[in-house]
A = this chain, B = another copy of it.
Amino acid sequence: MQAINASIDVDRGLWSEDIEASLAHAAMLVRQGIIRQADGRKIARGLKRIRKEIEEGRFEFRADLEDIHMNVEARLKTLIGAAAGRLHTARSRNDQVATDFRLWVRGAIDRLDDRLNRLIAALLDRAEEHAATVMPGYTHLQPAQAVTFGHHLMAYVEMFGRDRGRLMDARARLDECPLGAAALAGTSFPIDRAMTAKALGFAQPMRNSIDAVSDRDFALETLAAGAILAVHLSRLAEELVLWTSPGFGFVALGDAFTTGSSIMPQKRNPDAAELIRAKSGRAIAGLTQLLVVLKGLPLTYGKDMQEDKAPTFAALADLQLSLDAMTGMIRNLKADAKAMRAATAAGFLTATDLADWLVRVLDLPFRRAHHAAGRLVRLAEAKGCGLADLGLPDFRRVVPGIGPAVYKVLDIDRSVASRRGLGGTAPNRVRQAIAAARKRSMKR
């Protein structure tokens, strides 16, 4: 039973929040006259000493004391005697653990947000450097149209920006204090919930005591935001794995982010990128786990909810690690602009430009222009050349009116530069987007 019941291996991660919340609770009990000042002072002194013991690695966590709350309180009793027994007045482990866990998740959100900000900064720097570096844009992993590497990286700036937004929204919704809900019904002691809420940096106390002890939305929502973030990271990681494979060769990762092989002396494997890609599994699974735990659970507190912390701790810690590793890779990667440009030779990347030009200049309906461009692509394929290598007679066999101006349209750089509308890949537009993103990120 102890083996399945004890949670100390996991919830010791809450030690700092537990002490912080107990300090706030004890101070409030004193001010409300519920416990004596002398006892309050002893409790505060004892708790601070325990904090120091833990910080210095001198605290012995005991499984027979089940959880972090009892470990702290038992030590407090050793340190200050009977007064320790007054700390738990007007609270229950149910509101205590809800408070501790909220504080922890709030801290984790802030740590993730900080890491996201750094990753965005790294992306902005590389995007600026490569605002005009031309590469093939892919759909279906097939070359589609030319874009700039900077523009491509800026897509991730948008994605990670939304991730920050989701985390901040979760944080705002989480920012209510359950302390004072006691077991489930509130308490008959004249406590001041506003005071403890404020002391712990919460915007306000929670409005319903039953909800306060039953709710784990704050963890679910943070895990959901984390799962979406992890999927974003997995997509960028996949691209790094592709780009470093010799068939692409667009990017070389810093040596710090690759590893060798125990058997193949030549290997430089993008291990960090693969691990980040894989860790999306834990983020998705962590969310699934907590949703499953809570599914069909009657109110109020059930012991099932003890299984909330392990998936949350693991998923958010892995995300932090992934963000750090990704930031390091982005900061250290060497983009091979030549290889990127060389790759634009394959795949007839300007076929759309050609079709658009036929619309604009020869007034063909788009569907007919698209069809004509398709025929020209097949002609070039048959000849084993690019579109620009076709002769004017070739062009005119398909669309009689085509003149020599067509060749300008088939130029990669011109193609990129022509997409200069809002959100487009033209270098100047990309530079504007970078500047605007820098401004937004400063505001926060």
Contact = CB atoms under 8 A, between A and B. Distances in A.
A271 B303 contact: yes
29 contacts: A1-B328, A84-B365, A84-B367, A85-B368, A88-B262, A88-B263, A94-B263, A139-B300, A140-B274, A142-B245, A142-B270, A155-B208, A159-B217, A186-B425, A187-B356, A187-B424, A207-B436, A210-B425, A217-B228, A262-B370, A263-B355, A265-B376, A280-B296, A281-B289, A281-B293, A285-B288, A288-B288, A292-B292, A292-B295
Nearest to A353: B188
A173 interface: yes
A423 B296 contact: no
B352 A265 contact: yes
Given A186-B423, A274-B304, 8 more contacts: A4-B276, A142-B244, A142-B245, A144-B261, A151-B209, A159-B211, A235-B297, A278-B305
Contacts of A294: 231, 235
A158 B211 contact: yes
A348 B235 contact: no
B365 A159 contact: no
A360 B272 CA distance: 34
A362 B312 CA distance: 42
A5 to B, nearest CB: 6
Q: How many copies does the complex hold?
A: 4
A13 interface: no
A184 B154 CA distance: 13
A130 B284 CA distance: 39
A144 B94 CA distance: 12
A36 to B, nearest CB: 9
A22 interface: no
A138 B300 contact: yes
Given A1-B328, A189-B360, A290-B281, A265 B145 contact: no
A221 B288 CA distance: 15
A234 B159 CA distance: 25
A257 B194 CA distance: 38
Contacts of A418: 188
A251 B209 CA distance: 22
Given A143-B246, A241-B140, A266-B377, A281 B292 contact: yes
B4 A322 contact: yes
A224 B92 CA distance: 31
A89 B5 contact: no
A383 B354 CA distance: 42
A244 B173 CA distance: 33
Contact of A137 (B185, B211, B311): B185
B289 A295 contact: no
A265 B209 contact: no
A336 to B, nearest CB: 13
B92 A265 contact: no
Contact of A352 (B141, B166, B263, B285): B263
A1 B442 CA distance: 28
A146 B285 CA distance: 36
A143 to B, nearest CB: 6
A40 to B, nearest CB: 13
Contacts of A162: 173, 217
A334 B219 CA distance: 34
A296 B85 CA distance: 38
B321 A3 contact: yes
Given A137-B210, A139-B261, A140-B267, A295 B284 contact: yes
